[in-house]
Amino acid sequence: MPASRLHFVRHGEVYNPKGLLYERLDGFPLSDRGHQMAAAAAEELKSMGIDPKKLLVSPLERTRQSAAPVAKEFGLELEIEERIIEPWNKLKGYPMGAKALVANPGLAIHLYNPGRPSWGEPYREIADRMTEAALDAWENTSEGDVVFVSHQLPIWMTYRSAMGLRLPHNPQSRRCSLSSITSFEVDSGRLLPVDYREPGMRLIQEKA
């Protein structure tokens, strides 16, 4: 019998005082509050009454740190899953948003097709690798649930693809807050979104 549910946890807040697009760069660990968010996500998973048998984690430091409380809570070993890593991006290392163009106007050459997007890994490729990793884990886990610790855009692409929505989107519309949990079941070989929780939201609101 395959796994019961698949839970995608986004990592907690990153220490990023310069506001850079960190993408897959090293040197961007969780902030103090990010560690608190990760602990909140682990507590939320416990409150859901799940019985996870596998913990698959993006290889980046922030996801490994975010997975640590989950591993401790459920007595699991972290397994690195390369397919759920942050998308690559030609703007990495620059300030996020319009500030990147101020820092280097030449970056504008990469902005010709936001629907792909032309500045980074295509949305379809992100959705496909994430879905493949999810279905592989579902098929190869004989019982219980699987927890993934990944990143905002990959999780959001997984959700939109599962829902049959267009992948190009307004980044401000993403429903995938820090340390959120997006849960799926599998029906006839297809992912089916079934639950969404935001255990880190209290800490986000406290900052505001």
* C-alpha–C-alpha distance, residues 110 and 124, integer Å: 18
Distance, CA of 23 to CA of 25 (rounded, Å) = 6
Q: What is the CATH number of domain 6-17+30-89+122-207?
A: 3.40.50.1240
Angle between the N-to-C axes of helices 152-163 and 123-139, in degrees from 0 to 180, rounded to the nearest 10: 80
Which pLDDT score is estimated for 208? 58
pLDDT of residue 148: 98
Cα 160 to Cα 26, 89, 115, 126, distances in angstroms = 28, 20, 14, 11
Ordered DSSP codes for 80-149? E-GGGSPPPBTTTTSBSTTHHHHH-GGGGGG-S-TTTTTTBS-HHHHHHHHHHHHHHHHHT--SSEEEEE
Residue pair 179/37 in contact by the 8 Å Cβ criterion? yes
State the 10-residue block means of pLDDT for the chain, 208 residues long: 89 96 94 98 97 97 98 98 97 88 86 92 98 97 96 98 97 95 96 97 79
Q: Look at the pTM and tell me if it is higher than 0.85.
A: yes
One DSSP character per residue, 131-152 reads: HHHHHHHHHT--SSEEEEEE-H
State the burial class of residue 106 (Cβ atoms within 10 Å of its Cβ: 0-12, 13-18, 19+): exposed
pLDDT score of 3? 78
Mapped onto helix, strand or coil, the DSSP state of residue 34 is: helix
State the pLDDT at residue 26.
86
Q: How far is Cα 165 from Cα 161, in angstroms, rounded to an integer? A: 6
What pLDDT was estimated at residue 106? 86
So what's the pLDDT on residue 1? 57
> Any idea where the domains of the chain sit in the sequence?
6-17+30-89+122-207
- Tell me the two tokens of residue 101: 């163009």
- Which pLDDT score, from 0 to 100, does residue 204 have? 83
